């Protein structure tokens, strides 16, 4: 299966207009040093950021960014060292897989790096993915360095349509990224080189699906040898709970939250029920405090999936 991690993506699908806007701002010498890319998780916001960074850093290098086709040359030096996470002009911060937040030590390490002299005269980029996972201490430390960043340092922040502090948001130029369902379908099929409905039951796809979410679903199918072509939604949820797949990867735990919401949305009698309200509150507590989710999942299956 293709690796479609944003850092590896040489082709940009469906987000060309946003790329053009960023390029135009840079050409007009009015590119802000703090950019917020907002939208549903899985739309390609981080891929867009890497493409723009390569567009800037590959200038005057061999194999420059191909603006006509919105494509990174895989032999470009800046792309290679960025992918290897050794590019001195690109600092990447994300929540660690075993953590519940981006902690202050990550921001402190960033501050130390930014205070060091640059290796060259090229712009330096700080890419922070999933900024909704910044805790209060991390945000406060970050605010100190983005309010008056050093010359030629640009911050690109990725927000997955979650609430973030207004003090942080107000300091950024906010690009709201959105795609229609048809655009998502076309992009996903291009990335996969096949029609994803040949692999996944339509019952598992909701109105808010994104290329990233579909990819994660197919990856789950491949990794655990589970056929999702004909499986029904309630069967899929029962499968994940019974086999405790959510304990194997954090991404599966968050995927199951989305599918619980989808299951409830398809049943009008549950939307405002007492258990629904209880469930939503518990999910928020699990996400916020990193609590154990097993008892809630089992209760959900017992009360709703077996009806």
pLDDT tens by residue, 132-146: 888 888 888 999 888
Cα separation of 240 and 234, whole Å? 10
Cα separation of 36 and 274, whole Å? 37
Q: CATH 3.40.50.300 occupies which residues in the chain?
A: 6-176
Rounded mean pLDDT of 92-101? 80
The yes-or-no verdict on residue 88 having pLDDT over 90 is yes
Split at pLDDT 50, 70, 90, the class of 35 is very high
Please give the pLDDT value at position 272: 67
The yes-or-no verdict on residue 89 having pLDDT over 90 is yes
Query: Which one is predicted more confidently, 242 or 147?
Result: 242
The yes-or-no verdict on residue 271 having pLDDT over 80 is no
In terms of Cα–Cα distance, which of 206, 261, 282, 201 is closest to 235?
A: 201
Instruction: Give the CA dihedral 152, 157, 163, 165, nearest 10 degrees.
Output: -20
Angle, helices 181-192/211-223, rounded to nearest 10 degrees: 40
Superfamily per CATH, domain 6-176: P-loop containing nucleotide triphosphate hydrolases (3.40.50.300)
Question: pTM (2 decimals)?
Answer: 0.87
């Amino acid at each position: 299966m293709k690796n479609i991690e944003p850092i590896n993506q040489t082709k940009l699908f469906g987000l060309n207009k946003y790329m053009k806007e960023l390029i135009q701002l840079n050409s007009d010498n009015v590119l802000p040093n703090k950019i917020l890319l907002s939208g549903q998780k899985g739309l390609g916001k981080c891929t867009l950021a890497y493409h723009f960074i390569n567009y800037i850093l590959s200038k005057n290098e061999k194999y420059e960014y191909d603006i006509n086709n919105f494509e990174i040359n895989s032999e470009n030096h800046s792309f290679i060292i960025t992918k290897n996470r050794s590019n001195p002009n690109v600092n990447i911060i994300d929540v660690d897989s075993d953590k519940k937040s981006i902690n202050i030590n990550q921001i402190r390490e960033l501050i130390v790096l930014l205070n060091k002299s640059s290796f060259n005269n090229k712009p330096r980029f700080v890419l922070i993915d999933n900024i909704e996972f910044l805790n209060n201490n991390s945000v406060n430390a970050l605010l100190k360095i983005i309010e008056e960043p050093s010359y030629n340092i640009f911050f690109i922040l990725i927000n997955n349509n979650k609430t973030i502090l207004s003090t942080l948001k107000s300091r950024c130029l906010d690009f709201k990224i959105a795609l229609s369902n048809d655009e998502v379908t076309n992009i996903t099929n291009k990335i996969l080189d096949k029609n994803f409905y040949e692999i996944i039951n339509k019952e598992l796809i909701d109105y808010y699906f994104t290329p990233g979410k579909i990819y994660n679903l197919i990856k789950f199918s491949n990794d655990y040898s589970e056929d999702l072509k004909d499986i029904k939604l309630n069967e899929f949820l029962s499968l994940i709970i019974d086999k405790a797949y959510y304990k194997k990867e954090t991404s599966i735990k968050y995927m199951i939250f989305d599918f619980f919401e989808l299951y409830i949305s398809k049943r009008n009698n549950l939307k405002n029920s007492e258990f629904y309200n209880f469930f939503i509150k518990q999910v928020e507590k699990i996400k916020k405090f990193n609590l154990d989710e097993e008892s809630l999942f089992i209760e959900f299956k017992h009360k709703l999936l077996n009806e």
